[in-house]
Amino acid sequence: MTMLSAMLRSGEGRAGLVLLALFAALALTAPFVFPGDPLAISAPPLLPPFTDSAHPLGADRLGRDIAAELAWGSRTTLLVAVASALASLLLGCLVGTLAGFLGGWTDDVLMRLSDAFQTVPAFLLAMALISVTGPSLPAIVLAIAAGAWPQPARIARAEIRSLRERDFVASARVAGMHPLAIGFREILPNALPPVISLAAIIAAAAVLIEAALSFLGFGDPNRPSWGSMVAEGRSLLRSAPSLSLVPGLALVAMVLAIHLTGRGYAKALRVREPAA
């Protein structure tokens, strides 16, 4: 049974994958459905939703199409979520493998470095780094990853410490493999499943952190963002609640989709473990 089919057997996995597929389709089709600049003024200011077929979700107070911003904003959100999770897992696996396999002073130094990063809240660390580097999408991804890598590093370290005395590792040593080759080629692949399960947590946190940064004005000003859309409509909650409600609901749905997918993966992993 493949991991995907195992995930589809659970209700959470199916729901999460369907929601993520819808968001992915929205992000991929945004340039074709809404060509041009999504931040361009294209409608009367504060156009109500469902009153103009060309602008089904209405327009904000500057006359920008809400539907276009929502679709293009999904690209920003998904890109930040995926890139931050990948960067965090890659860095965490690198640090965890070195610490767990080499041990000794290497383990002590890397784990104390992990402790130092974990003492700072991820959002505050991201905001501080963005303040230094300036608001851009790569900077946001790196800032989020900087606060998220210690957890996968610790899990990878724990898994590798439990695997490094197995028979297949001893066989690799006898065969003359380099210690780093043993760690990354033989041990790390067997330690990956529990580390990958953190991807959903990191991605969901990345969505919320990026939205919060954009809400506070630390997001990329050249890209539509659901957080900046919420911030744009907060002063008009009484007269035009849809300006904040629509992107706010999109954020909730995105985080829910990632959470359900993560739960589906965790269930599929438990189902496959006895057969492994």
Q: What is the pLDDT of residues 189-202, one digit of tens each?
A: 887 888 888 888 99
The least confident of 197-211, 218-232, 257-271 is 257-271
Cβ–Cβ under 8 Å, residues 125 and 99: no
Whether residue 68 has pLDDT greater than 90: yes
- What was the pLDDT predicted at 72? 95
DSSP helix/strand/coil, 9: coil
Average pLDDT (119-137) is 89
- DSSP β-bridge partners for residue 59: 65
d(CA 195, CA 162): 14
Average pLDDT (62-80) is 93
Q: How far is CA 217 from the centre of its chain?
A: 20
Whether residue 1 has pLDDT greater than 60: no
Cβ–Cβ under 8 Å, residues 78 and 89: no
Residue 238: band (very low, low, confident or very high) from pLDDT cuts 50, 70, 90: confident
- Phi-psi sector, 63: left (phi>0), alpha (psi -120 to 50), beta: left
Place of tokens 């963005």: 130
d(CA 213, CA 172): 47
- DSSP β-bridge partners for residue 64: 41
Whether residue 275 has pLDDT greater than 70: no
Whether residue 209 has pLDDT greater than 90: yes
Residue 100: band (very low, low, confident or very high) from pLDDT cuts 50, 70, 90: confident
Cβ–Cβ under 8 Å, residues 173 and 186: no
Of 139 and 188, the one with more pLDDT: 139
Average pLDDT (226-243) is 88
Residue 168 tokens read as 């297949």
Quote the mean pLDDT of the chain: 87
Of 161 and 206, the one with more pLDDT: 206
For 30-59, what is each residue's pLDDT tens digit? 999 999 889 898 889 998 899 888 889 999
Whether residue 253 has pLDDT greater than 90: yes
DSSP assignment string, 178-238: -HHHIIIIIIHHHHHHHHHTTHHHHHHHHHHHHHHHHHTT-S-TTS--HHHHHHHHGGGTT
d(CA 23, CA 41): 25
- What was the pLDDT predicted at 273? 56
Please report how the helices 242-272 and 188-196 are oriented relative to each other, as an axis angle in degrees rounded to 10: 140
Whether residue 276 has pLDDT greater than 50: no
Average pLDDT (89-112) is 88
- What was the pLDDT predicted at 102? 82
- What was the pLDDT predicted at 272? 59
Of 176 and 127, the one with more pLDDT: 127
Please report how the helices 242-272 and 11-33 are oriented relative to each other, as an axis angle in degrees rounded to 10: 130
d(CA 255, CA 242): 20
Residue 271: band (very low, low, confident or very high) from pLDDT cuts 50, 70, 90: low
Tell me what percent of the chain is helix, strand and coil, each rounded to the nearest 5: 75, 0, 25
Domains and CATH numbers, the chain: 3-28+66-275 (1.10.3720.10)
Residue 220 tokens read as 């990329």
Whether residue 157 has pLDDT greater than 80: yes
Whether residue 173 has pLDDT greater than 80: no
Place of tokens 């706010």: 248
List the one residue out of 45, 41, 71, 6 whose CA is nearest residue 271: 6
Average pLDDT (250-272) is 86
